[in-house]
Amino acid sequence: MSRIGKKPVEVPSGVTANINGQTVEVKGPKGTLSFKATDDVTISQDEGKISVQPRGTSKRARQQWGMSRSMIENLVTGVSKGFKKELEINGVGYRAAIQGNILKLSLGYSHEVNFEVPKGVTVTTPKQTEIIVEGIDAQLVGQVAANIREWRGPEPYKGKGIKYKGEFIFRKEGKKK
């Protein structure tokens, strides 16, 4: 039994959800998102709650049960609150600046890295060493943050690079004399 799948998704006030077959469309103050579930699950809505049930007891149906419920919850959270990832830049001379739709990163390379921000995501730099990625699609926000971090991941000796806020970097001891 899926512990996640059993729990119904609460639809807060100000958010409307429409179920059309296997497609769930959620509208809220921040926008509209939709998700198409597989035929292994049944989706129903009653009294401001969306519940997901598996069709049969196959392994795939049980896998899709919890995953579909999580996806629907991400839709509801995205259109009501939105998602946010915060990145920190550590290192001498490492900095970030946003110019229009392009994030300019100075990461110790011989050139400046220009990262084009995709539609549906907003990137802000309150300080030169902070990057905030926000949007309504959880997957897109996480992927954009991961793509930015990929340019210069944190290294284990001094911790230089781009890391998620609150992420622990395991430090190694340097050379000994």
Q: What is the pLDDT of residues 8-55, one digit of tens each?
A: 999 999 999 999 989 999 999 999 999 999 999 999 998 889 999 999
Q: How far is CA 50 from CA 9, 33, 69, 82, 104, in A?
A: 5, 15, 9, 19, 42
- Each domain of the chain, given as residue ranges in start order, spans 3-80, 83-164
CATH entry 3.90.930.12 includes domain 83-164: yes
pLDDT of 127 over the 90 cut: yes
pLDDT of 113 over the 80 cut: yes
**pLDDT the model gives residue 176:** 85
Task: Judge if 3-80 and 83-164 fold alike in CATH terms.
Answer: yes
3.90.930.12, 3.30.450.20, 3.40.50.12160, 3.40.630.30: which CATH number matches 3-80?
3.90.930.12
Q: Which amino acid is at 47?
A: E
By the 10 Å C-beta count (0-12 exposed, 13-18 middle, 19+ buried), 161 is classed as buried
